[in-house]
């Protein structure tokens, strides 16, 4: 039972502070969804703009998961378009609970609905959550860690699906031809600037209708301080 | 005034959860102080072991700051030795308050006492705190952001001193001779492994009594997943 005491104000103050922090959540290392970055200068004569986007932590959901989290028959509503046509950041967010009973709140769901549920975190997030994240290509979830998502309607137990996304570049036919690579190849990505960094082993992912776009995570984006990058170069191995 | 209601248990549960999170603090992307890493295989014939250590966020303090934080005449007590002789992680930690009224709690002070006070954060931390971190060599603090440190005795207002440490390698005379570099030069650091990454612009810092040691921060350590690195190579530019 709560009793009144001279410490009441102090306690109230602490709780208010904690509630504010709760809303703020743990270190949020960037936007809560990939955003369309400005193209960088780089590979001369490339057929498409050279876009590097940082994927902050996010979630993809199946309809089954969405129903459990937001109520039966729910659908995702669009907050804003992402760089790839048809992809969008939704207005829906969930809390992720990990094995150390730590939570990352307000993680954005990216649409459209997929046929699997997947959480993409950085290694920084993984250490906080107590999860030894496997590095995977999106959708390749066999044997990956489980977790619990919490939505306003209810919880959803993921049996698998928490990963660090492998750094990758989306390419269409014109890009593959220009760079002389094929789906599944690996390339080097050189980021020039004050924190110049070369990311080796950038996976090529082919799709006929995709725009050229390189996806790195927040650890990688912050390691090379992408915001201050002056130039990039994709190099065939 | 707090009144009893059917929601009492729920509220108490939430507050307890928040208190646990408060203790845990925001994303803690690694150990709270640099730890002595195992040497990696690499540059053949190098005179000293090739050690790469991740510097997690930490604080250096002047005696003035320590007095304000822990009481007049305080001194740092050793928790554990760091890789460089004489350097140590202390038992003392402080909370750092940034401009967005966000706090990173329990940031470890590294000893010994210096003649300046400095906070070293990653860009991930900087985004959380709302600080546009300048990248600096330790001790070069002119024009860097201010902040407030909170200790058990009191607060200390830093007029300057919050930075991202520039990636660097400590070298003694034998190392400089072997690599053919001098103080202030820049080198490339190749980290091989599943998340292979090359960090360009690694600053050479000479000291006659230092052991070879490369310092990168948690963003960089997580970007290349240093834990799974198989080999490294320092390359003269």
Which has the higher per-residue pLDDT, B64 or A14? B64
Last residue of a domain, one of B123, B150, B165: B165
> Residues of A with CB below 8 A from B198's CB?
197-198, 200
Q: Residue B22 pLDDT more than 50? A: no
Q: Count Cβ atoms below 10 Å from residue A88 Cβ, excluding itself.
A: 19
Q: Residue A25 pLDDT more than 70? A: no
B141 and B232 co-located in one domain: no
Is B95 part of the contact surface with chain A (CB cutoff 8 Å)? Answer: no
Q: Which two tokens stand for residue B210?
A: 């230092």
Mutation test of the interface with chain A: which of B134, B203, B222, choosing the one with the most A Cβ atoms within 10 A? B222
Mutation test of the interface with chain B: which of A124, A148, A228, choosing the one with the most B Cβ atoms within 10 A? A124
Total domain count, chain A: 2
Mean pLDDT rounded to a whole number for chain B: 88
Q: pLDDT per residue over A107-120, tens digit each?
A: 999 999 999 999 99
> Residues of A with CB below 8 A from B27's CB?
26-27, 29, 124-125, 127-128
Name residue, tokens 């070369």. Answer: A198
Is A29 part of the contact surface with chain B (CB cutoff 8 Å)? Answer: yes
Q: Residue B37 pLDDT more than 80? A: no
Residue A47 lies in a domain: no
Residue A217 lies in a domain: yes
> Residues of A with CB below 8 A from B2's CB?
2
Is B123 part of the contact surface with chain A (CB cutoff 8 Å)? Answer: yes
Q: Is A26's CB within 8 Å of B26's CB?
A: yes
Residue B12 lies in a domain: yes
A103 and A172 co-located in one domain: no
B205 and B176 co-located in one domain: yes
Q: Residue A99 pLDDT more than 60? A: yes
Residue B46 lies in a domain: no
Last residue of a domain, one of A165, A194, A214: A165
CA pair distance B91, A232, nearest whole angstrom: 43
H-assigned helices in chain A: 8-24, 63-70, 123-129, 173-179, 218-223
Closest Cβ opposite residue A223 in set B30, B127, B220: B220
Closest Cβ opposite residue B200 in set A196, A201, A220: A196
Report the range of poorest mean pLDDT among A100-114, A137-151, A178-192, B10-24: B10-24
B160 and B188 co-located in one domain: no
Q: Is B27's CB within 8 Å of A29's CB?
A: yes
Return the pLDDT at A20.
Answer: 47
Mean pLDDT rounded to a whole number for chain A: 88
Answer whether A212's CB lies under 8 Å from A21's CB: no
Which residues, in sequence order, are bridge partners of residue B52?
B214
A131 and A216 co-located in one domain: no
Residue B2 lies in a domain: no
Which has the higher per-residue pLDDT, A52 or A102? A52
Q: Which two tokens stand for residue B31?
A: 């150990």
Q: Is A135's CB within 8 Å of B195's CB?
A: yes
Return the pLDDT at B16.
Answer: 52
Report the range of poorest mean pLDDT among B22-31, B60-69, B87-96: B22-31
- Work out the percent of chain B whose per-residue pLDDT is above 90: 81
Chain B residue with Cα closest to A224: B220
Mean pLDDT of A136-157: 96
B14 and B119 co-located in one domain: yes
Q: Is B22's CB within 8 Å of A24's CB?
A: no
Q: Residue A125 pLDDT more than 50? A: yes
CA pair distance A5, B108, nearest whole angstrom: 34
Host domain of residue A132: 8-32+56-165
CA pair distance A182, B215, nearest whole angstrom: 37
Q: pLDDT per residue over B79-122, tens digit each?
A: 999 999 999 999 999 999 988 888 999 999 999 999 999 999 99
Answer whether B84's CB lies under 8 Å from B213's CB: yes
A107 and A188 co-located in one domain: no
Answer whether B106's CB lies under 8 Å from B58's CB: no
Return the pLDDT at B146.
Answer: 95
Last residue of a domain, one of A136, A165, A194: A165
pLDDT band at B9; cut points 50, 70, 90:
low
A77 and A191 co-located in one domain: no
Return the pLDDT at A2.
Answer: 39
CA pair distance B161, B120, nearest whole angstrom: 8
DSSP A100: T
The verdict on whether omega for the bond into residue A79 sits within 30 degrees of 0, i.e. cis, is: no
Return the pLDDT at B13.
Answer: 58
Q: Is B135's CB within 8 Å of A24's CB?
A: no
Q: Which bin fits A106, alpha (ψ -120 to 50), beta or left (φ > 0)?
A: left
Mean pLDDT of A18-47: 60
Answer whether B196's CB lies under 8 Å from B223's CB: no
Return the pLDDT at B85.
Answer: 93
> Residues of B with CB below 8 A from A226's CB?
none
The complex's ipTM?
0.81
B158 and B176 co-located in one domain: no
Looking at CA atoms only, how far is residue A203 from chain B in angstroms? 11
A25 and A62 co-located in one domain: yes
Looking at CA atoms only, how far is residue A198 from chain B in angstroms? 5
Is A205 in a helix, a strand, or coil?
strand
Looking at CA atoms only, how far is residue A122 from chain B in angstroms? 8
H-assigned helices in A85-191: 123-129, 173-179
Return the pLDDT at A100.
Answer: 82
Residue B63 lies in a domain: yes
Is B223 in a helix, a strand, or coil?
helix
Return the pLDDT at A13.
Answer: 57
B175 and B141 co-located in one domain: no
Q: Is B22's CB within 8 Å of A19's CB?
A: no
Contacts 24+ apart (CB under 8 A), B18-24: B18/A15, B18/A18, B18/A19, B18/A21, B18/A22, B19/A18, B20/A101, B21/A18, B21/A21, B21/A22, B21/A102, B21/A103, B22/A18, B22/A21, B22/B105, B23/B105, B24/A102
- Dihedral pair phi/psi, residue B150, rounded to 5°: -120, 125
Query: Euclidean distance between the first and final Cα of chain A, in Å?
Result: 67
DSSP A143: T
Closest Cβ opposite residue B198 in set A26, A102, A198: A198
Contacts 24+ apart (CB under 8 A), A176-182: A176/A204, A176/A206, A177/A47, A178/A43, A178/A45, A178/A46, A178/A47, A179/A43, A179/A46, A179/A204, A179/A234, A179/A236, A180/A236, A181/A236, A182/A206
Is A222 part of the contact surface with chain B (CB cutoff 8 Å)? Answer: yes
Mean pLDDT of B149-162: 97
Return the pLDDT at B222.
Answer: 96
Q: Could you say which residues from 171 to 190 on chain B have a Cβ atom under 8 Å away from some Cβ of chain A?
A: none
Return the pLDDT at B101.
Answer: 83
pLDDT band at A204; cut points 50, 70, 90:
very high
| Bridging pattern class, strands B118-120 and B162-165 | parallel
Residue A2 lies in a domain: no
Return the pLDDT at A118.
Answer: 98
Answer whether A89's CB lies under 8 Å from A82's CB: yes
A112 and A28 co-located in one domain: yes
Q: Is A30's CB within 8 Å of B122's CB?
A: no
- Nearest CA to A234 out of A104, A100, A41 is that of A41
Residue B77 lies in a domain: yes
DSSP A66: H
């Amino acid at each position: 039972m709560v009793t009144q005491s001279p410490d009441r104000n102090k306690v109230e103050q602490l709780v208010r502070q904690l509630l504010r922090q709760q809303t703020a959540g743990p270190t949020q290392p960037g936007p809560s969804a990939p955003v369309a970055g400005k193209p960088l200068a780089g590979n001369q004569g490339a057929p498409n703009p050279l876009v590097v986007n940082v994927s902050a932590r996010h979630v993809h959901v199946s309809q089954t998961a969405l129903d459990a989290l937001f109520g039966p028959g729910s659908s995702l509503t669009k907050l804003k378009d992402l760089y790839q046509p048809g992809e969008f950041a939704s207005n829906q967010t969930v809390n992720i609970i990990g094995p150390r009973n730590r939570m990352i709140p307000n993680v954005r769901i990216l649409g459209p609905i997929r046929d699997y549920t997947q959480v993409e975190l950085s290694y920084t997030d993984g250490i906080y959550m107590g999860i030894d994240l496997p590095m995977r290509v999106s959708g390749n979830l066999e044997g990956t860690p489980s977790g619990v998502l919490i939505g306003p309607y209810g919880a959803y137990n993921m049996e698998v699906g928490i990963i660090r996304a492998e750094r990758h570049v989306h390419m269409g036919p014109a890009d593959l031809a220009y760079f002389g690579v094929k789906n599944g190849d690996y390339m080097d990505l050189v980021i020039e600037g004050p924190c110049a960094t070369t990311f080796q082993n950038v996976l090529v992912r082919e799709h006929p209708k995709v725009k050229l776009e390189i996806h790195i995570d927040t650890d990688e984006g912050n390691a090379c301080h992408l915001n201050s990058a002056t130039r990039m170069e994709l190099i065939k191995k």
